[in-house]
């Protein structure tokens, strides 16, 4: 795509991640304030993510419009309604969370596919790094803004702010011609289930993708230990409020930006090896967060846990761009989201049950140890069985 369009596209990526991460903080903290319950937080997140499972099955083009612009327009409308519906009522808040989740789950695979489809092969890694950087700034600033807003503004004003940002994203993305339905497709791939099965076959026949998604799926099953545990630890263990929660989420985002700017250029020839290193670092970060005696120690643990995480996304996105046919990339990204979201939804239920019985520190530390073990085993398998048997463009 032309440089001007690429920069405009990255602004859309940034706004999408900013909005979704700020909304996640607003939703979780509001539910925690109203219920003081990990189970209700898990239920709220489940409503917002369960639709991602259907996106993986049906493809991102079904159930939300035929373009990124249409999906964002629908999001803007539901958040506009949410200005009046969400603040006074827990039920209203959950309804908005469900509809927003139904729509937002389509955007990431569509954005990823649009980038891959309009980027020459020789610029793919650079473009993927730009996408990663834009998304990470959204992950950094969204929670920080939400934490500050919860401490200083009414909830209705916060939802109104999200509506304004979504309107801006819509105006930016509309000229970029992100319509899915205009893409040529083979005749045998007109239905969603065959498209899904084709994407699954492509993943299972690719030794790196098969292993990488297995590890990522396991870790997405475990990730709600962080999502549910951190607000509980911030409130009850470290005795901070909504701003403290926003800051720790933003610190995680800041560390990923450092990783994207500083670490990724150093490891561009070893992206796939660092895929496993990244998950090891995340597991270490989880364990250090659980063991942190104070809030400021926890901030340091967040930096350790997140700094290598961009390698996960760039390694996978680059591999898909290099090894999967362009027409099928959107469906492969959607299947990836299906795996992550399906197991993430299951993990929410599992972790909510565990938090009912065990202290958050115990759950988070055990989760970290499992992540480390899975990454080490995955790296061993990759080195022994994948690299020798499959010539690849990057290792």
Domains of the chain: 3-175+192-386 (1.20.1250.20)
Counting DSSP H helices and E strands in the chain, the numbers are 17, 0
pLDDT, the chain, mean: 87
Question: For residue 385, what pLDDT is reported?
Answer: 86
* Rounded distance between C-alpha atoms, residue 256 and residue 262, angstroms: 10
Residue closest to 40 by CA, chosen among 344, 346, 343, 349: 349
Question: For residue 384, what pLDDT is reported?
Answer: 92
Residues of the chain with pLDDT under 70: 1-2, 55-66, 177-193, 389-395
Who contacts 349 (Cβ-Cβ below 8 Å, separation ≥6)? 42, 46
DSSP 72-120: HHHHHHHHHHHHHHTTT-HHHHHHHHHHHHHHHTTHHHHHHHHHHHTS-
* Rounded distance between C-alpha atoms, residue 158 and residue 232, angstroms: 22
Question: For residue 233, what pLDDT is reported?
Answer: 96
């Amino acid at each position: 795509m032309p440089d001007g369009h690429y920069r405009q596209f990255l602004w859309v990526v940034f706004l999408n991640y900013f909005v979704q991460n700020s909304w996640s903080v607003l939703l979780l903290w509001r539910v925690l304030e109203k219920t003081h319950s990990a189970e209700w937080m898990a239920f709220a997140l489940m409503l917002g993510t369960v639709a991602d499972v259907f996106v993986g099955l049906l493809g991102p083009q079904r159930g939300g419009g035929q373009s990124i612009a249409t999906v964002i327009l629908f999001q803007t409308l539901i958040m506009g309604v949410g200005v009046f519906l969400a603040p006074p009522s827990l039920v209203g808040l959950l309804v908005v969370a469900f509809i927003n989740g139904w729509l937002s789950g389509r955007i990431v695979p569509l954005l990823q596919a649009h980038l891959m489809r309009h980027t020459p092969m020789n610029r793919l890694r650079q473009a993927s790094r730009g996408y990663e950087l834009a998304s990470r700034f959204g992950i950094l600033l969204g929670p920080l803004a939400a934490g500050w807003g919860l401490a200083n503004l009414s909830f209705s004003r916060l939802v109104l702010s999200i509506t304004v940002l979504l309107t801006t994203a819509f105006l930016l993305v509309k000229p970029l011609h992100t319509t899915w339905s205009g893409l040529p497709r083979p005749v045998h791939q007109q239905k969603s289930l065959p498209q899904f099965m084709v994407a699954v076959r492509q993943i299972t026949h690719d030794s790196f993708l098969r292993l990488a998604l297995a590890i990522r799926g396991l870790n997405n099953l475990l990730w709600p230990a962080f999502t549910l545990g951190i607000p509980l630890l911030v409130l009850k263990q470290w005795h901070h409020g909504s701003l403290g929660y926003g800051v720790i989420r933003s610190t995680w985002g800041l560390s990923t930006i450092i990783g994207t700017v500083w670490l990724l250029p150093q490891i561009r020839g070893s992206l796939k090896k660092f895929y496993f290193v990244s998950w090891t670092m995340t597991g270490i970060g989880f364990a250090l967060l659980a063991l942190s005696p104070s809030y400021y120690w926890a901030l340091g643990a967040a930096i350790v846990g997140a700094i290598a995480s961009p390698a996960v996304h760039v390694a996978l996105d680059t591999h898909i761009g290099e090894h999967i046919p362009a027409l099928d990339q959107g469906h492969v990204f959607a299947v990836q989201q299906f795996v992550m979201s399906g197991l993430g939804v299951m993990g929410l239920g599992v972790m909510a049950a565990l938090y009912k019985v065990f202290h958050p520190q115990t759950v988070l530390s055990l989760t970290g140890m499992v992540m480390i073990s899975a990454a080490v085993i995955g790296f061993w398998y990759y080195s022994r069985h994948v690299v020798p048997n499959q010539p690849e463009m990057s290792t």
